Chains A and B, each alone.
Chain A
């Protein structure tokens, strides 16, 4: 247990270092007022959002992997991101201002959550109904998004496509605040339900025999994890990989007990995404790359290395 605490403290240190580098490196101090603008007005919201979205997606990912008892599950499996993309695209189709994009995206995800919940509730919230309902809705909404992209007038690149690639720099302060509320509330709830999540891993019947009210807990977990995902995607577009791989790295380092795991993946996810965003911002100057590209490539290589070196798999 002591080893885990030390490791967690190291993670906190890692996160702190990453935040400092992201905020302060590469700023020319010869013009202090411009430097201040860059650090506080441009970088701080970005770092903050990356922290929230990284932690949110990573912990939601851990919840979905436990809920569906499948380590390939991730926050986007059950269609929430497709619903958000649909909402955002509709907002763009009607040429609404960008604040509404976030709102529309969130409404889109809420709609998806509601539909999947309703479908699954008819089958006692069985995993197969969740997966089938969620994946099917995901495909349906994604197809509609493609339709919209094809129809939207464009003189450059379609706004919808750009949104889909993920962007941590554009959220309004209100969106960041709401994301903070949902993500921190969500992670707290997950932590408190940590034991219940451990039990769910054993399968529905065994969990029931140990005393878990399985259907209720599954509904609660599904709902909260989906809300957290919805908030993240509405604020930042679709950033992949974090929700899938960070839980694996967390379990590799800390074991699968979820109370500890939720803290670990939140820290890991936050640090990872801040790092990726900084790389996206700086590696191809003056160009800026979409952050989802960096999470995929950087994360993929890192994880492959882990896979090859680790004896366990």
Chain B
């Protein structure tokens, strides 16, 4: 009898150690994606209009959250991010007594994985999260070590055309390039995104140009670059267009996906 009671007590403690949330609202596409990766989509009851979550209630756009809608869904956990959600909305939700957990900006792969594990811990899937993360980190590191043999090529990663906007050191895409064995052409810029002149880009002579922006605009941009016949990337015809939604979401799964895609695309060997 004592054994049974003892066993029941342990079970109870184990349960309350990670409180099980069953009504989760996600305020960022990356968080939604990670929740699906961890297999808890049945607990997800609210997403943003940008999230890929068929059949779930929409509680607002990326920037604008409908507080009333969230309240009406009676969530027991709200997952937000500093990168997109406004401080105002987050503090209002907290004031209303709701359980809000906020993730910060992830400017490198390590942080992405750490946050993924942290998310796993919050929703009671820590072991699964850790395993997934370790597996992905290993694959990423494999790719990194393979590329250490090649000479580092410089990549211009463009998120906008006319004017030219590129990524700096603290953009996740910059770390993505590092793993792929390439160098960000504008690594000396600290901010995540910066406007630069075409002249400066031409002067630095990229080996590869990645156009990560809206479809047909980027097609035009590719043709525009062909005018600069001296640029190495143009001479070697290494100008690639990437789907911006696939190319840099801060989740471990998507990061690895993007990493494999870039390596395959550019294929220096």
Contacts and interface: CB of A to CB of B under 8 A. Distances in A.
Nearest to B188: A286
A28 B13 CA distance: 70
B195 interface: yes
Interface in B146-190: 159-165, 186, 188-189
A259 interface: no
Contacts of B92: none
A98 B161 contact: yes
B21 interface: no
Interface residues of B, number: 38
A155 B212 CA distance: 10
Contact of B228 (A37, A43, A97): A37
Interface stretch (B35-43, B107-115, B127-135, B199-207): B199-207
A153 interface: yes
Given A28-B203, A159-B160, A286-B186, A41 B196 contact: no
Interface string A116-154: 000000000000000000000000000000000011011
> Which of A154, A155, A281: most chain B CB closer than 10 A?
A155
Contacts of A98: 161-162, 217, 220
A167 B196 CA distance: 12
B230 interface: yes
A287 B217 contact: no
Interface residues of A, number: 33
A193 B218 CA distance: 45
A95 B160 contact: no
B227 A169 contact: no
A131 B233 CA distance: 52
Given A43-B199, A169-B197, A288 B163 contact: yes
A150 B205 CA distance: 36
A169 B230 contact: no
B197 A281 contact: yes
A41 B227 contact: yes
A70 interface: no
A71 interface: no
B217 A286 contact: no
B203 A170 contact: no
B240 interface: no
A287 B199 contact: no
A287 B160 contact: no
A44 B172 CA distance: 35
B214 interface: yes
Nearest to B249: A155
Interface in A286-302: 286-290
A98 to B, nearest CB: 5
A153 B62 CA distance: 8
Contact of B193 (A38, A96, A157, A159): A157
Contact of A95 (B188, B197, B214): B214
14 contacts: A37-B202, A37-B228, A37-B229, A41-B228, A95-B214, A153-B62, A154-B62, A156-B165, A169-B198, A170-B162, A281-B199, A285-B200, A286-B196, A287-B189
The 9 A-B pairs of least Cβ separation, nearest first, read A170-B162, A288-B197, A42-B199, A167-B163, A288-B195, A156-B159, A97-B220, A34-B230, A286-B200
